[in-house]
Amino acid sequence: MSGTSSTTRAFEAAVGRRGAAWADAPAARAALDALTSDAPGLDALGPALDDLADACALAPSDRQVVAVALLAETHPVAHLLCGLLAGDGAAGLPTLALALELAGASVVDPVAHARLAPGGPLRRAGLLRLVAGATFATTRVGLRPRVVAHLLGRSDAAAEVRPLLAEAVPADVAGYADVAAALAADEPLVWVHAPVGAAGTGLAVAACRELDVACVVVDLTRLPFPAGAEGPDTATLHEAVRAAQLEAVLGRSVLVLAGAHLAGPDLVRLVADGAVPVVAVGATVWDPRWAPSLPPTVTAGRLTLAQRAERWAVMTGPDVATPDVVSLRMTPEEIVKVGRRARADAAREERGVDVDDVRRTARRLGGVAGSRVRTQGTAATLDDLVLPDHTRLEVERLVAWARHRDDVLALGDLHGKGGKGTGISALFSGSPGTGKTLAAHVVADTLGMDLFQVDLSAVVDKYIGETEKNLERVFGQAESLNAVLFFDEADALFGSRSAVTDAKDRYANQEVAYLLQRMEAAEGLTILATNLRGNLDPAFARRLHFMVHFPDPDVPTRRALWSHHLAQLPGTDPDDPVDLDLLAESVEVCGGDIRNVVLAATYDAVAARAPLGMRHVRAATLREVAKLGRRLTDPRW
């Protein structure tokens, strides 16, 4: 059946059946003659129609319906002829009754009805757009714009799916062979659980590569979320999935659907109605309530350090694939995205990409709007921590654990048995100003992660059960962003449980019990900071991998702190040198107080248009000590 010549003959037969007495016969005959004269040009559409029919397993009558709808969409004379034959007296889309007539079928044929029903080949493939009529027979039928564009030779994706398309980056991680086997067995849906940092999408792409089939990767998390909502609205989500399925149909591809957990129970129905196999990659495990049957499920693995090093070397060169870069816990797609951006930024400045470019770009990757996520400001490094050796070593050990976590996880289920998560948790305790918050920033910046600082005013709620919901949202957001979750003044939430004397005690204890469970199931890096370690519930100790005490600084540490903060200035007054020994020996304050003194002294010096000297530091120190309610007894003051 070449081109559209058979369709033209079908139009001619339909006009003949209506006879010369038909009121619109002259106009229809003239339109038919004009359409016939264009038949040689329209025949060029034949190969594209044949290819589409083969891809969608369409019967000859189905192909004829598509050809009729295509002519009505693209040729003005065919548009007019369809309207006249449908009884409109003017141009219009064909009705389903007319489309079936032109395809050589009857409108009362149950088989024809079934082929145009929602589960039929034409509807499952998503080729048609229907304009509802009063009855089945009077429903108007056309083609979706993307199908028309495809048949005319255009390959650009539909507007609604174009922003959701992601690059297909394969990753040979644990589980990809299982997905390939499920696809080879003609499973319509395979569920891939991708925890934070897992290469779920890369696994699905690798499975398609194993079978030598193409795939279309669509990321539903890029859909816009209504204000205050935790996901896209249902109509937008359904349209996106339908458009993605159509893109896969036209490309004879497997559909890899990232962010599939957003579709939830609707996903099964959407996939069942589709014509292509779907590998759904979700951040949650499969919920058995979503469908009466269970699809094949696979848990995605993570890239090892060696695999990440290999990919960074390809993207940025071997010199940049240092341990600091390789330790960034990223998926294959994120490595490609960050690597390209870092290269482009460096090229704009006409230089080679370096480690700082990668780390700076990596911090932008997880940034989102919201006051809790700290993404701006200068990155803090381990050199900014002036601490006793044993405290600094513990902070460095925490960073090393976070860097090598994926390699440890690859060795076996050391973390996750018994329902426990694979996260790492630490407690920083010590007096105010000893460096706990700065250390949390240093850990995040060293790992190239954002610091997700919990806003207690937005979490604690007076209504029963709401605090737990807010905390679950906080943990979930931090894990999804691969950010360090930081609870400052943690004893406000993680306080000791008490004997129950009234309802308030019982509900307060429930909040602590929830936090104990959630900390144990956490998948990310969590840091608690408290001034009063003794106020924390003892049960948290077992959930903590690190308990780091930040002591009040001794004389050598105070001297190092004064020197460190003053070194941030371009210079000091040589005629009025700062006496570091006096400051370290006689001013017993913490690092945060020393920073305040240096900052205040700098303001005074700038206001006086003079270089900073001991006179400015002396005045600022006296004010800071008075603010703390203390006195300096050293006679040198």
**Does some domain include residue 524?**
yes
Helix (H) or strand (E) holding 255, with range, is strand 254-258
Q: Do the beta carbons of residue 139 and residue 229 sit within 8 Å?
A: no
450 and 357 share a domain?
no
Q: How sure is the predictor about 177, in pLDDT bands with cuts at 50, 70 and 90? A: very high
Nearest-5° Cα angle at 87, 82 to 89: 80
Q: What is the mean pLDDT of residues 243-255?
A: 92
195-211 pLDDT per residue, tens: 877 899 999 999 999 99
Same domain, 147 and 24: yes
- Average the pLDDT over 122-131 and give the result: 84
- The answer to whether residues 368 and 337 touch, using CB atoms and an 8 Å cutoff, is no
pLDDT for res 6:
79
At residue 465, does pLDDT exceed 50?
yes
Indicate the range of 40-54, 63-77, 167-181 predicted with least confidence.
40-54
For residue 312, what is the domain's CATH number? Answer: 1.10.8
pLDDT tens, 510-531? 666 777 777 777 778 889 888 8
Which of 151, 171, 188 is a domain's end point? 151
Extended beta strands in 53-94, E state = none
Label residue 478 left, alpha or beta by phi (over 0 means left) and psi (-120 to 50 means alpha). Answer: alpha
Q: Which domain holds residue 129?
A: 5-151
Give the pLDDT confidence of 333-359 residue by residue, as tens digits.
Answer: 889 988 999 999 999 999 999 888 887
**Does 156 map to a domain?**
no
Is there a single domain that holds both residue 331 and residue 425? no
Confidence (pLDDT) at 479:
73
Same domain, 352 and 449: no
Residues 274 and 352 in one domain: no
For the segment 296-320, the average pLDDT, to the nearest whole number, is 89
8 Å CB contact between 176 and 270:
no
Q: Are residues 168 and 270 in the same domain?
A: yes
- CA nearest to 527, candidates 547, 551, 497, 513: 547
- 604 Cβ neighbours under 8 A, 6+ residues apart: 616, 619, 620
CATH code for the domain of 576: 1.10.8.60
Q: The domain that contains 250 carries what CATH number?
A: 3.40.50
Least confident of 48-52, 411-415, 493-497: 493-497
Query: Cβ(73)–Cβ(148) under 8 Å?
Result: yes
Instruction: Mark whether 533 and 435 lie in a shared domain.
Output: yes
Residues 506 and 398 in one domain: yes
Residue 413 belongs to some domain of the structure? yes
Confidence (pLDDT) at 281: 94
CA distance 366 to 146: 33
Residue 633 inside a domain? The answer is: no
Last residue within a domain, chosen from 151, 171, 194? 151
Which pLDDT score is estimated for 500? 44
In this structure, how many other beta carbons lie within 10 angstroms of the beta carbon of residue 152? Answer: 13
pLDDT at 44 over 80: no
How would DSSP label each residue in 438-501? HHHHHHHHHTT--EEE--HHHH--SSTTHHHHHHHHHHHHHHHHT-EEEETTGGGTSBPP----
pLDDT at 298: 94
Q: Are residues 107 and 253 in the same domain?
A: no
Q: Residue 254: phi, psi to the nearest 5?
A: -80, 140
Q: Are residues 534 and 395 in the same domain?
A: yes
Residue 65: inside a domain: yes
Percent residues over pLDDT 90 in the chain: 29
pLDDT bracket for residue 560 (50, 70, 90): very high
Nearest to residue 191, comparing CAs of 85, 282, 288?
Answer: 282
Which one, of 402, 474, 409, lies nearest residue 440 by Cα?
A: 402
Residue 606 has a pLDDT of 94
Residue 567 within a domain? yes
Q: Is the pLDDT of residue 492 over 70?
A: no
Final residue belonging to a domain, choices 550, 585, 606: 550
What count of residues does the chain have? 637
pLDDT number for residue 456:
66
- Answer whether residue 376 is part of any domain: no
Cut 0.85: pTM above it: no
Residue 419 above 70 pLDDT?
A: no
Asked if residue 371 belongs to a domain, the reply is no
Query: In whole angstroms, what is the distance from residue 179 CA to residue 270 CA?
Result: 20
Domains of the chain: total: 5
Average pLDDT over residues 71-84: 90
pLDDT band at 616 (very low <50, low <70, confident <90, very high): very high
Q: Are residues 68 and 191 in the same domain?
A: no
- Highest average pLDDT, of 105-119, 361-375, 558-572, comes from 558-572
**How many Cα atoms occupy the beta-carbon half-sphere of 419 within 13 Å?**
5
133-137, 286-290, 388-392, 414-418 — which is least confidently predicted? 414-418
Tell me what the mean pLDDT of segment 410-432 comes to. 75
CB 360 within 8 A of CB 408: no
Same-domain check for residues 576 and 543: no
588-606 per-position pLDDT tens digit? 889 889 999 999 999 999 9
